[in-house]
Structure formats: C-alpha cells, structure tokens
Amino acid sequence: MHGARCVFMGALSQVAWGADNTKLTKDGKKIYYTKMGTLAPEGVGWAALIKEMVTPGILKATNGQVALDWYWGGTMGDDQDILAKLRNGQLQGGGFTGQGMLMTCPEMALMGLPFMFENYDEVEYIYSKLRPRISKWFEKHGYHLVLLAEQDFDQIYSTKIPIKTPEDFRNSRVLTWYGPLEERTLKALGASPLPIRVPEVAASIRTGVCDTFIAPGLWAVGTQMYTVMKYINPMRIRYSPAGGIVTMSRWNTIPKELQKAIDDYAISIKRRITGRKSALAMKSA
C-alpha cells in the first residue's frame, strides 16, 4: 500500500524526523517526506497511474529527495475531509476528484461548465493556454498544483428509468455531490437534487434513497455501481478536472531545484497520463 515508503526507507538512517517532515540519510541528504490522501481506491486506474508513474517518477526526478506516501480509498476521508487535514497539517497534499478541485480552487468551475467541451483535444488546448493562470489560482488559495489531470467526461446513470428528457429528471430522485454548479444545473433540468457526500453515494443508490446520478465511468467501476445501474446516458454532460496538489507551506520547504524537477516531470507525463487513463479504467473493470 505504501510502495513509495518501501523504496526509500531502507536508505534512511535511524534519526528523528524533523519538524518539517524531513529526515537525513547517513550521507546527510535531506528527504522530504510528504503524506498524500485520495479517494481513489488502490485497485482502480488512477491509483495505478500514481503508483506506476507519479510517485516513483518524482522520487527519481528529485534524486530520491521527495517521497510521497499515499493513503488510498478514502482512508483519510472524502475530499472535504482531506482538505481539512491539509489545513491542520495532518496531510501535506492529495489527489482530488473534480469536486475536490472545485473545493480547493473555486475558479476551476470554469472547466466543469456543462457541455463546454466535446473532446479531450479541446480540453488540452485550453489547459495549454490557461495552465500558468490556473497555477496562480491554486497558489492564491494556499496550494501548489503539481499535476493537472482528468477525472473524465461525466455521464448520467440511473437505476430506474432512461434519462433522456427534463421530464425524466423530474420523475427521478437525483443526488448531487459535485457542488453548487452541479446542483444548479440539475435544477435547471427539472430535478430536485438531494446533496449527498461522496462516501454515502453508493449506499444511497443501493438503498433507493436516490436512483440517478452524474459521474465518470471510472467512479462507476471503482465503486462497483455498474452492478446496479440499469441505464446510462452516454452524453458527455461535463468535463471533470482532477489533480494532485500540495500545500504551499509544504512546497516552500522544498529547495527550488527540487521544485523545478517536480514541475518539469509532472508536465512531461501529463499527456502520457491522459492517454493511458481509459485503458486503465477498462483494466480495473
């Protein structure tokens, strides 16, 4: 579960951790140890990308000096809980869903406007133009954006009836978990959405509290909701950003040359990550 820890712990000397979550090796090299939380279950595609590319890649790019230790599958709570732990210092970073990205940086709602994008090429073009501005948005809120990734294009799922018209929305019990923009969109479509936090979504669907929701296919796979869903509207109702961040207080403890190494590596794997996402999601299924 904590593969990154195993990679480097054997090389560390038996000395006390520093107050800034660092530790010295026998040769005096400083290790910056960073605890990260995420909702992603360890067995699904995004976790595989983190474990295979992000964590070991950053460790290598920084010559073993920046090590990420991940807490998978909501063991640190949902996105809201993880953000609270970032604020109190229990965690130093996290991998966030679209909802978490909006909670962290409300300006990211721009990327999730309904029907704004038709495909990933359009998304990548906008990201290429806005990335410096997006990074400044996150810094303004106290976070450094390490990796800008994708949750997927979200679709409409139902256990009750096919969702094709506003009347279908009115006749369904629709949950909302993504934030104010989703809630307003659902109301505009005729629904009376019920706000539910992410850890309660699957249980709410299985017990019949709600019967309709908007989510990416990756989430439906990871939570095994595909076993109870009867209908899917494959319309790409919105694009959902995802990403990895660390607190600025943590980021500022890392030397500038290591910061640059991390940022350069994250940019270098951006397209490789988005290109592999669908294949890994299918593999998880």
CB 37 within 8 A of CB 91: yes
Within this chain, do residues 199 and 99 fall inside the same structural domain, yes or no? no
Amino acid, single-letter form, for residue 18: G
Q: Are strands 143-158 and 30-38 parallel, antiparallel or unpaired?
A: unpaired
Say whether both 30 and 171 belong to one domain. no
- Statement to judge: residues 265 and 129 lie in one domain: yes
Residues 63, 137: one domain? yes
Residue 84 φ then ψ, to 5°:
-65, -40
Tell me if 102 is assigned to some domain: yes
Please state, for a pLDDT cut of 90, what percent of the chain lies above it. Answer: 60
pLDDT, tens only, 77-92? 999 999 999 999 999 9
3-state SS, residue 251? helix
Helix H or strand E encompassing 241: strand 231-247
Q: Whole-model pTM?
A: 0.83
Does residue 204 contact residue 210 with C-beta atoms inside 8 Å?
yes
Q: How many domains does the chain have?
A: 2
pLDDT for the residue 152: 84
Instruction: Answer yes or no: do 251 and 132 share one domain.
Output: yes
β partners of residue 149: 242
Cα-based distances in Å from 180 to 190, 197, 205, 236, 261: 16, 13, 21, 19, 36
Together in a domain, 176 and 280: no
Q: What is the pLDDT of residue 170?
A: 95
CATH, residue 45: 3.40.190.170
What single string gives the DSSP state of each residue in 53-114? IIHHHHHHHTTT-EEEEEE-TTTT-SHHHHHHHHHHTS-SEEEE-HHHHHHH-GGGGGGG-T
Average pLDDT over residues 179-195: 91
Higher-confidence residue: 276 or 237? 237
pLDDT of 26 reads: 60
In this prediction, residue 161 carries a pLDDT of 95
Exposure string for 162-190, b = 16+ CB within 10 A, e = fewer: ebeeeebbebbbbbbbbbebbbebbeebe
Q: Are residues 84 and 205 in the same domain?
A: no
Same domain, 165 and 62: no
Domain of 275 in residue numbering reads as 3-112+124-142+240-284
